[in-house]
């Protein structure tokens, strides 16, 4: 009935994919994104009325990755071994890079993408009072790998 992995072939209803027969493998995913803003906003990110946007965004991205299965209904809950969120500021905004790692039966792409997205949203939230023209752009999966555990 469907070639989609999250659609039951018999009933057509949505379902969580059964990964029980898949081997445990070391999986790593990297994602990136960007928040564009005025140069003055970029210079002030560590000293905004709401506080240090970069530290808060880094923590928010890590926390969000750990809660991906609660946010995306058909994602599996994964035992993350590592989540890293890196923020690089320049005169046009903030580049965000996230890496998520696990040893599991399914990948960590969504965790890396969620980390980037929530870090970007956190920066936006914390700086919106001083820069109404910010944009969140280019949220993409950069890479994913797996190898035997």
Identify the active-site residue in 3, 52, 91, 125.
Answer: 125
**CA 27, CA 81: separation in Å to the nearest integer?**
10
Question: Which residues have a Cβ under 8 Å from the Cβ of 18 and sit 6 or more positions away?
Answer: none
CA end-to-end distance (rounded Å), the chain: 34
125 is catalytic: yes
Three-class SS of residue 115? helix
Three-class SS of residue 56? helix
Closest CA to 107 of 25, 8, 46: 25
Active site members: 125
């Amino acid at each position: 009935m469907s070639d989609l992995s999250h659609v039951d072939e018999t009933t057509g209803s949505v379902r969580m994919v059964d990964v029980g027969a898949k081997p445990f493998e070391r999986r790593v995913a990297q994602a990136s994104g960007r928040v564009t803003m005025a140069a003055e906003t970029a210079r002030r990110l560590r000293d905004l009325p709401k506080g240090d946007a970069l530290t808060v965004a880094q923590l928010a991205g890590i926390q969000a990755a750990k809660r991906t299965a609660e946010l995306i209904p058909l994602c599996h809950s994964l035992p993350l071994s590592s989540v890293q969120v890196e923020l690089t500021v320049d005169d046009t905004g903030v580049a965000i890079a996230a890496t998520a790692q696990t040893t599991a039966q399914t990948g960590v792409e969504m965790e890396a993408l969620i980390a980037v997205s929530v870090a970007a949203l956190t920066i936006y939230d914390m700086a919106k009072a001083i820069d109404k023209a910010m944009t969140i752009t280019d949220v993409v999966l950069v890479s994913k790998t797996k190898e035997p555990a």
